[in-house]
Amino acid sequence: MKDQNLGPAAAVHYWARTTRDATAIVYEGARISYGTLSARVRSLAVALSDGGVRPGDRIAFLGRNGPVLLEAALAAAHLGAVFVPLNIRLAGAEVAYLLGDCRPHTLIAEDPALIDGIADTVPVQRFLLADSGPAASGVHPRWETLATGETGETAAETAGTPETADAAPPVAVRPTDPAVIMYTSGTTGRPKGAVLTHGNLWWNHINTAAVIRTRLGDTTLVLAPMFHIAGLSGFTLGSLCYGGTLVIRRTFSPEQCLADLVEHRVANLIAVPTMFAAIAATPGFPHADLSALRAAIVGGAPVPPALVRDYLAHGITLHQAWGMTETAPLASHLPTELVAAHPDAAGFPLPHTEIRLVDPATGGVVTEPEVAAEICVRGPNVFAGYWNNPEATGRVLDDAGWFRSGDIGRVDKNGLLFIVDRLKDVIISGGENIYPAELERQLAEYPGVREAAVVGVEHPRWGESPVAVLCQDGDARATLEEIRAFTGQRLARYKLPTAVHHVDALPRNGSGKVDKAALRTQVLGGRRP
């Protein structure tokens, strides 16, 4: 296929030519126009190219949400390089592993202290210090600032000069060219780098716009960390492609989020259930004017039906969606008109995406309704494979392009997809499959329960049995008998918990998801067959 200007950088430069003064980013109260953003991206691209970055090279970024992260991502796209955002919450040894795996030409970081302890052990040719906060004292000589000249000004400060603005145009790319390497959380082993192509990202924008009905110039609030796929590609890059405005905060505050939704008349938002719950718990929520919020997508974790009902009572429909890093990220979406009747559904496949269920034991395609099986996805949004890991790629991606998600789902008679659980989390008790997420949804409905998780433990008679772990408000502590009586109204007896543990908070991994292995160790001593 002929090379094209398919990347998001080309779109930003287009809007800079046609609507130069329109606001691209609002960051901590400051506005950045498309003209300024385009010039900054070109300037950073020049600095990276002059330092030796070539098409296909990796550019890693370690930092929080902010304009500099987007500028780095767009500069990488401008050069035909591959952007690799790294999780700021990782320990030094974990970051070192990722850098050793992707072998970036250049690492851009906001805090040298996060890297200096491992810098001598990682295959990085150039270390750049982002000018996004107070300069650290005693910076090691390995670090360069994002400078473009002898004055020492950062790329952002000199970006408006005519010389920089007239830098080389974006490198033309193919849809199959890698755009981003996004590392998975690695809950079952070492993290894997999902290679997302320019075509994957582009088709995600097309799919999302088709079902969400995004509009030219929409305002999007960015809450999810952009080192995760939902934060970077959920709405963020697509908004820039459509000339929209991004409202970005460095960290999540439910009070500030609610204020931003009202002040900036936010139309689009994607977040995990815990974020939506925190916003709804903010004192001003019942009276806030959120009439502009058309597309509030919730996903990334099981969605309690009670949360959907709370927002519906406020006149806001939470758009249920399902996907993952490997699908860039969305694969299914629940139409707005079906949310009230099916608050626990993940919807239908996106317009250019296929979904089928496969028996994980036999590999046979499941066509009967209401039969739980592994969800497989195929489409132009499905990733190219795992970086430098053909064995892992071969386990999940077949020659026909079908991706094995590792999620268990079922489809009803109308074709609606329901997410049941992760395949690896299934509890087998007396020969029966128990899906923790199904029990967790019921536990979340118990009065006073903030969060709930279910793990499997050894059982002398049944092999395994489910154990509930609860976070409750105040001093409330539900007993096992109370929990079994409540959940027994909705679930079969064999699915009910055999024990209840109470904790102040559930442990989470770098993706913000409940870390079941850590939880099992924390409260149960790690026991599982």
Give the domain-ending residue among 197, 232, 261: 197
**What residue ranges of the chain have pLDDT lower than 70?**
1-4, 131-138, 147-166, 186-189, 510-511, 524-529
What is the CATH classification number for the domain harbouring 76? 3.40.50.980
CA 514/CA 507 separation, integer angstroms: 6
pLDDT attached to residue 276: 94
Q: Would residue 280 count as lying in a domain?
A: no
pLDDT attached to residue 516: 85
Express each pLDDT in 122-155 by its tens digit: 999 999 998 654 444 567 788 898 743 222 334 4
Q: Would residue 311 count as lying in a domain?
A: no
Q: List all residues 6 or more positions away from 297 whose beta carbon is below 8 Å from its beta carbon.
A: 212, 234, 235, 268, 269, 270, 271, 318, 319, 321, 333
Tokens of 152: 């020492």
Tokens of 479: 């007993």
Phi, psi of 470 (to 5 degrees): -120, 145
pLDDT attached to residue 333: 96
What are the CA-CA distances from residue 502 to residues 72, 452, 455, 470, 481 (Å)? 43, 9, 13, 5, 14
Q: Would residue 456 count as lying in a domain?
A: yes
Q: Would residue 463 count as lying in a domain?
A: yes
pLDDT attached to residue 518: 86
Tokens 């739980």, located at residue? 372
Q: Would residue 451 count as lying in a domain?
A: yes
Stated pTM of the model = 0.85
Cα torsion at 299, 303, 309, 311 (round to 10°)? -30
Q: Would residue 464 count as lying in a domain?
A: yes
Total of domains in the chain: 2
pLDDT attached to residue 137: 52
End-to-end CA distance of the chain: 50
CA 300 centroid distance within chain = 7
Express each pLDDT in 410-468 by its tens digit: 999 999 999 988 888 888 888 788 889 889 989 999 999 999 999 988 888 888 899 99
Q: Would residue 212 count as lying in a domain?
A: no
pLDDT attached to residue 1: 52
Q: Would residue 345 count as lying in a domain?
A: no
Q: Which domain holds residue 50?
A: 38-148+170-197
What is the CATH classification number for the domain harbouring 432? 3.30.300.30
pLDDT attached to residue 3: 63
pLDDT attached to residue 299: 86
